[in-house]
Amino acid sequence: MFHTCKSRFCTSCGQRSTEAWQQDLEATLPDIPYVGITLTLPMEFRAILQQNRDILHGLPAMGAEAVQQWAKARFGVRLLVIVVQQTFGGFLNFVPHLHVMVSAGGLRESTSRWIHRLAYNSRELMLTWRFAVGALLSEAYKKGVLRSTLSNEEFQKLLETQHGRDWNVFVSRMGSKSYRLKHDGRYIRRPPVAQHRLKLIGNGHVEYLAKNTREKRSVPVRYTNTEFVNILIQHVPDPGRHAMRYFGLLSPRSKARFWAAVFVLLNQQQRPHPPRVPWRWLRVKTFGTDPLLDSAGQRMRWVGRRAPVEQG
């Protein structure tokens, strides 16, 4: 699409992709309540994950598996699961964690029933999540695919220490599909820096309005241009990596088997994917400007490409 830059740092292109994703899932997901689960990691693991991007990208699958295994063991059900990974905090520091959107109920295959309300327990989920991450890191270290400056003894001590403490896992109240999609959509397909937070872009410095969540206020922070770019780079997904991933009843294999049955049990009609909103009208809706009108208010039209001119 020749009117978009497709840059991973472009807030405009990111806004368009986010709204298209929200619109699609708003139409195709069942109209049932959903729950948000936030899975965090100890700060002692951050340096390891910075050095091991493959393991970082494997965390969404581990988080989804932990939630699904808990639901299967506790209630014998399968869930609709969407995982969005976020790596940045209010100061653009590296704080990897997962936002998991799950159905408030689940499909019990043994009785072909939809269980409408599950009692999500944050502590039980924490224990399952903690075990999954510990097993992932331990296995990666044993196979020699995990890079770390720690010795074997230091690494094992780190795992033992973190396995013996509580991790922060937050379970939200049940909410509508629209609310959860709007909330989790803030973290996908867009850079961690909103344009309104860039207060100053000088010759050698950038002033960024950071978010102090503890004090609930914004704090101006100044970086050199090189420092600011290096901070942003660590939050850009690697090529081919998706910002959101689908598991449980939303995985392609499960959808082929169970998707129609889910709607029958819920007494709802499946809806088709909505047509994609043209780039032009999404820009008008989001930003209030028509990108295809020139300075005189005349409609521009595509006439072709000009070949590049070689500089003599």
Residue 239 has pLDDT above 80, yes or no: no
Residue 7: per-residue pLDDT = 63
- pLDDT for 2 equals 45
pLDDT of residue 204: 87
Collapsing DSSP states into helix, strand and coil, what is residue 78? strand
Rounded Cα distance between 202 and 245, Å, is 38
Stretch 100-118: mean pLDDT, rounded?
95
Closest CA to 16 of 242, 222, 287: 287
How much is the pLDDT for 103? 97
Per-residue pLDDT, 81: 97
The pLDDT value recorded for residue 78 is 97
Distance CA 38, CA 60 (A): 11
Q: Is the pLDDT of residue 241 over 70?
A: yes
Q: At what angle do helices 177-184 and 11-28 cross, to 10 degrees?
A: 160
| pLDDT at site 145 | 92
pTM here is 0.84
Cα(46)–Cα(42) distance, integer angstroms: 7
CA distances (Å), origin 31, targets 59, 124, 177, 222, 270: 28, 27, 7, 45, 10
pLDDT tens-digit readout, 23-69: 899 999 999 999 999 999 999 999 999 999 999 999 999 999 999 99
Kindly state the average pLDDT of the residues 89-108.
93
CB neighbour list of residue 18: distance below 8 Å, 6 or more residues apart: 185, 186, 188, 189, 190
The per-residue pLDDT for range 26-39, each reduced to its tens digit, is 999 999 999 999 99
Q: What's the mean pLDDT when you consider all of the chain?
A: 89
pLDDT-based confidence at residue 20 (cuts at 50, 70, 90) = confident
What is the reported pLDDT for 1?
40
Asked whether residue 275 carries a pLDDT value surpassing 90, the answer given is no
For the chain, the first-to-last Cα distance in angstroms comes to: 31
How far apart CA 118 and CA 174 sit, in angstroms, is 10
CA separation for the pair 130, 115 (Å, rounded)? 27
Instruction: Check whether 200 has a pLDDT greater than 70.
Output: yes
Using pLDDT thresholds of 50, 70 and 90, give the confidence band for residue 288. confident
Angle at 102 between CA 171 and CA 237, to 5 degrees: 95
Residue 102 identity (one-letter amino acid): V
Whether 278 shows a pLDDT value over 90: the answer reads no
For residue 218, the SS3 value is strand
DSSP symbol at 196: G
pLDDT in tens, 143-189: 999 999 899 999 999 999 999 999 999 999 999 999 999 888 877 76
